[in-house]
Chain A
Amino acid sequence: MIARGGFGFASGTTAAVLAGVVFGFLWMAVIGVTLALVTGLPARPPLLAGMLAGLGGAAATLVLSGGTRRWGAMAAALVVLVAAALGAPFGLPLGEGTLWQALALLLFAGLTGQSLWMCLGDAVPGRLRRYDFERLIIRIAKGAGYIVFSVFVALPFYVMVMTSLKSQAALLENPLDFSIDITRDGLFSSYTELFTKFNFGTYLLNSGIVSFSTVVLTLLISVPGAYAVARLRFRGREAFARSILLIYMVPAIVLVLPLYTVFSQLELRNTLVGLLIVYPATTIPVALYMLQGYFRGLPAEMEEAGLMDGLSRLGVIAKITMPLSLPALASVSLYVFMIAWNEFLFAFMFLDDPGIFTLPRGVASLNSSELPRELMMAGAVIATVPIMVIFVWLERFMVQGLSAGAVKG
């Protein structure tokens, strides 16, 4: 980085001030709150002192040179924080949870120093070219972005899991205390209660059956349809390929009332069969659309060779097209499975009988002022974990399915 010298707005100093304030604030908020959540101590993170500590660290990175910059930044952040917070770096007396506090203090200093060093490691105090200044600003914004996004996305999930392991009384007493005593008896009591008294085993099974069957039905119907649209010539093909997605724009809430009335009269309403008629109807159009796009990309020559050798069209689909499209089939299946697993509206409107609830319907039935919160959260965890495991395990296919099918929300 080229130093131009002198002072001006676009200087390394400006960037350092910005970085110090931003990272000091963010890391103090994150670590202070984490300390409170993990230990249950009534920590009061002093944000102002955090910002001052960040400024101290930033000053050190600018003033020092070479390999001492990183350690200097960390040490400066540590010293300034302790001084600025008047010896109580997290608003706690030092005697309370000393070990945790020391750990949090080191973590704060380390992370703040590291962030500052990564952003300002090659910065100089003086005026900078606009190019170099903007690079610094972008680095700072990105660093802050990583912290803010991760916390914003992860916090609800953390709260979900932790609340499910707590008791309502403890939660009301100190909503911040998510410390978990692993040795406590009945840590998983919410879960055992759901499985023993609330039929969640059955709901899990029902959800599995409904989602799996939806995938099978969707594939059975959409694979030939997609093949026809991709390969066979018929009048109206282009119009059909374009309009299939229009079906998707029809809101479920407009369909749910007529289906509710008709299914009530046909006595299909309170049945899983009813769901198995509705779910494929909502997933077939998008599955067909995704698959026909993939089929179009496959070389037609192999299929023609198959036809020449005497295979029927169905034979070609089964022996040539399907094996070639296994990745696409996996993506579509996972995407459809996810839609069926997560579906709430139809399950909520159609199912009254607790014996045939799916998981979302079962969790909805836990939303009662008479039941403690942790049961509801445990139900949420039970509904979330299977789909998350599938997602993490088969992320590549799932992401493909999401991006292909993301026209649906």
Chain B
Amino acid sequence: MSEHKGPPKGAGPLARREARLAWAFLAPTFAIVALMVLLPLIANFWISAKPVGLADLRPPEPTINERVRGDGVAAGEAVEVIYTARNSSPNLPLRNVDFSDTIPEGFTATVDDPRCTVEATAFTCVIGDMEPSDRVRLEAAFVPDRAVEDPESLLEGSAPTITGSGENPLTNFTFTTENFVKVFDADEFWAVLWTSISYTVFGTGGALVLGLFGALLLNQPFKGRAFLRGLFLFPYVAPVIAVAYTWVTLLDPNSGALNAILQQIGASHGPINFLGQTSMGSVSVLGYTIEMPMALTTVVVFEAWRYFPLSFLFILARMQSINTDMYEAAEIDGATPFQQFWYLSLPQLAAILATLFLMRFIWTFNKFDDIFLLTGGAAGTRTLTVNVYEQAIGLSNIGAGAAVAVVVFLVLLAFSLVFFRFSPKEG
């Protein structure tokens, strides 16, 4: 009796079986997320502290080259052979490099080098350590016991073998802070950070405002509403590469339609290089001179154009779910349309607008493709994410790229903390 008092405590066998099944169901998800997201995330921190360039991605290997001097030789006459061993890596040393070559039948070999030992059918040389891009030259003399017409093909017929161990630059324990020093010391770092933040703030804001207007346009039913709703989603559904290149074509200063239109209707006098010009002039406000960016504004407009459909969908869905009784009551009380929007709709939309802003903020900050395809980061549009690519691939320094990626991640983490602190709590 004493064992069965009250409800059972802890997990019973059934509950344990259910939990085991749950973990089995989730295991593949865990595995792929751990391998493709968490591990790379950690690896990125690791790489950021390592001196690795694009060229180091292949581990260093020794190479050997054999050159035979002399054409036909008589018996007893020496054939000179020159071996050149090389470290193929420009950055990493090689250890324990040895090479050996077989001595063809009928030849005697003499190698005048303390590193080499000659045996009956082969000789071996111990080269030891090789610095990056090092070359080692060894001379050997082969003396045949008969006349040989073509010693070259005979001697080169046996390829020398070379062995040596090079460290994998990614897995060794050489660390450096140079990548971070380089990233923070660069003159443009703060400019890049600033560009990133303005792009994110204005791009997110623009997409949200356009989304709100779009939703207001389609909130009431009318003929053609479904068509317009579909049309408004096009920019987001189309591949980014297609729309980005289309904008590049459309905005081209020489053959672009937009410049032609602006000139035709008299809005501008010469071609405007929307994506290639850093500044569109400066404005003075209260004694401060503000430089108005051109290319950055254009990419912000693109961002707003491409991502407003997402905010639009959310806001429209929220609008449609607002109870209409409220508006009827407001009508009876004589509230004007603007008052209804300001005092009734907007408070109802505040939560979704805040959530959207924070979500889109983070996603815009993460964006790489759009700017990369539009400007490649030129003309004052280089954001942190584009800088990751520029450092890693453009300047072939994977380590420095990873260091910028670490900065991206840390800034993002800061945003996320703010996001979870201020995000509206739902159920």
Once the chains bind, are B405 and A233 in contact (CB under 8 Å)? Answer: no
Bound state CA distance, A251 and B264, in angstroms? 42
> Nearest residue in B to A44 (C-beta to C-beta)?
B264
What mask results when residues 123 to 136 of chain A are scored 1 for a CB within 8 Å of chain B, else 0? Answer: 00000001100110
Which of A131, A156, A255 makes the CB contact (< 8 A) with B37? A255
Is there a chain A Cβ closer than 8 Å to B228's Cβ? yes
Is there a chain A Cβ closer than 8 Å to B109's Cβ? no
CB distance from A402 to the nearest CB of B (A): 6
Once the chains bind, are B366 and A253 in contact (CB under 8 Å)? Answer: yes
Which of B228, B246, B337, B338 makes the CB contact (< 8 A) with A380? B246
Bound state CA distance, A320 and B383, in angstroms? 49
Which of B25, B41, B230, B245 makes the CB contact (< 8 A) with A227? B25
> Nearest residue in A to B307 (C-beta to C-beta)?
A409
Once the chains bind, are A142 and B217 in contact (CB under 8 Å)? Answer: yes
Main secondary structure of the interface of A (DSSP, over half): helix
Is there a chain B Cβ closer than 8 Å to A205's Cβ? no
Is there a chain B Cβ closer than 8 Å to A308's Cβ? no
Is there a chain B Cβ closer than 8 Å to A229's Cβ? yes
Which of A32, A237, A399, A407 makes the CB contact (< 8 A) with B233? A399
Main secondary structure of the interface of B (DSSP, over half): helix
> Nearest residue in A to B301 (C-beta to C-beta)?
A152
B217: chain A residues within 8 A (beta carbon): 142, 145-146, 149
Once the chains bind, are B260 and A251 in contact (CB under 8 Å)? Answer: no
Instruction: Say which one of B81-89, B134-142, B355-363 lies at the interface with A.
Output: B355-363
Once the chains bind, are A254 and B405 in contact (CB under 8 Å)? Answer: yes
Is there a chain A Cβ closer than 8 Å to B1's Cβ? no
Once the chains bind, are B264 and A36 in contact (CB under 8 Å)? Answer: yes
B293-326 contacts to A (CB < 8 Å) = 305, 307, 309-310, 313-314, 317
Bound state CA distance, A56 and B401, in angstroms? 62
> Nearest residue in B to A403 (C-beta to C-beta)?
B313
Once the chains bind, are B238 and A261 in contact (CB under 8 Å)? Answer: no
Bound state CA distance, A349 and B392, in angstroms? 11
Task: Given A153-B231, A234-B22, decide whether A135 and B337 contact each other with a Cβ distance below 8 A.
Answer: yes
Is there a chain B Cβ closer than 8 Å to A154's Cβ? yes
CB distance from A174 to the nearest CB of B (A): 8
Is there a chain A Cβ closer than 8 Å to B408's Cβ? yes
What mask results when residues 213 to 233 of chain A are scored 1 for a CB within 8 Å of chain B, else 0? Answer: 000000011101101110011
A142: chain B residues within 8 A (beta carbon): 216-217
Which of B59, B239, B314 makes the CB contact (< 8 A) with A383? B239
Instruction: Say which one of B72-80, B149-157, B248-256 lies at the interface with A.
Output: B248-256
Once the chains bind, are B235 and A153 in contact (CB under 8 Å)? Answer: yes
A235: chain B residues within 8 A (beta carbon): 19
Once the chains bind, are A376 and B44 in contact (CB under 8 Å)? Answer: no
Task: Given A134-B338, A249-B416, A261-B170, decide whether A225 and B29 contact each other with a Cβ distance below 8 A.
Answer: yes
Which of B37, B59, B236 makes the CB contact (< 8 A) with A250? B37
B389: chain A residues within 8 A (beta carbon): 253
Is there a chain B Cβ closer than 8 Å to A341's Cβ? yes
B314: chain A residues within 8 A (beta carbon): 403, 406
Instruction: Say which one of B63-71, B125-133, B275-283, B367-375 lies at the interface with A.
Output: B367-375
Once the chains bind, are A377 and B33 in contact (CB under 8 Å)? Answer: no
Is there a chain B Cβ closer than 8 Å to A105's Cβ? no
Is there a chain B Cβ closer than 8 Å to A180's Cβ? no
> Nearest residue in A to B413 (C-beta to C-beta)?
A249
Task: Given A37-B257, A153-B231, A387-B239, decide whether A363 and B245 contact each other with a Cβ distance below 8 A.
Answer: yes
Once the chains bind, are B170 and A232 in contact (CB under 8 Å)? Answer: no
CB distance from A330 to the nearest CB of B (A): 16
Once the chains bind, are A281 and B238 in contact (CB under 8 Å)? Answer: no
Once the chains bind, are B235 and A228 in contact (CB under 8 Å)? Answer: no
A171: chain B residues within 8 A (beta carbon): 255
Is there a chain B Cβ closer than 8 Å to A20's Cβ? no
Once the chains bind, are B368 and A288 in contact (CB under 8 Å)? Answer: no
Bound state CA distance, A274 and B13, in angstroms? 41
What mask results when residues 52 to 72 of chain A are scored 1 for a CB within 8 Å of chain B, else 0? Answer: 000000000000000000000
> Nearest residue in A to B207 (C-beta to C-beta)?
A409
B15: chain A residues within 8 A (beta carbon): 233
Taking Cβ atoms with an 8 Å cutoff, the residues of A that contact B are 29, 32-33, 36-37, 42-45, 47, 130-131, 134-135, 138, 142, 145-146, 149-150, 152-157, 159-160, 163, 168, 171-172, 174-176, 178, 220-222, 224-225, 227-229, 232-235, 237, 240, 246-247, 249-255, 257-262, 264-265, 277-278, 280-282, 284-285, 288, 313, 338, 341-342, 344-345, 349, 359-360, 363-364, 367, 373, 376-377, 379-381, 383-384, 387-388, 391-392, 395, 398-399, 402-403, 406-409
Known interface pairs A131-B336, A149-B228, A255-B40; 19 further A-B residue pairs with C-beta atoms within 8 A, sorted by A's residue number:
A36-B261, A36-B264, A47-B265, A142-B217, A168-B255, A234-B23, A250-B41, A251-B409, A252-B366, A254-B44, A254-B406, A257-B398, A258-B402, A278-B36, A344-B240, A363-B241, A363-B242, A384-B243, A403-B314
Chosen A-B contacts, 6 in total, with CB atoms closer than 8 Å, are A130-B336, A232-B22, A249-B412, A251-B366, A388-B234, A402-B237
Taking Cβ atoms with an 8 Å cutoff, the residues of B that contact A are 15, 18-19, 21-23, 25-26, 28-29, 32-33, 35-37, 39-41, 43-44, 47, 52, 57-59, 168, 170, 213-214, 216-217, 228-243, 245-247, 249-250, 252, 254-257, 259-261, 264-266, 305, 307, 309-310, 313-314, 317, 334, 336-338, 359-360, 362-369, 373, 385, 388-389, 392-393, 398, 401-402, 405-406, 408-409, 412, 416
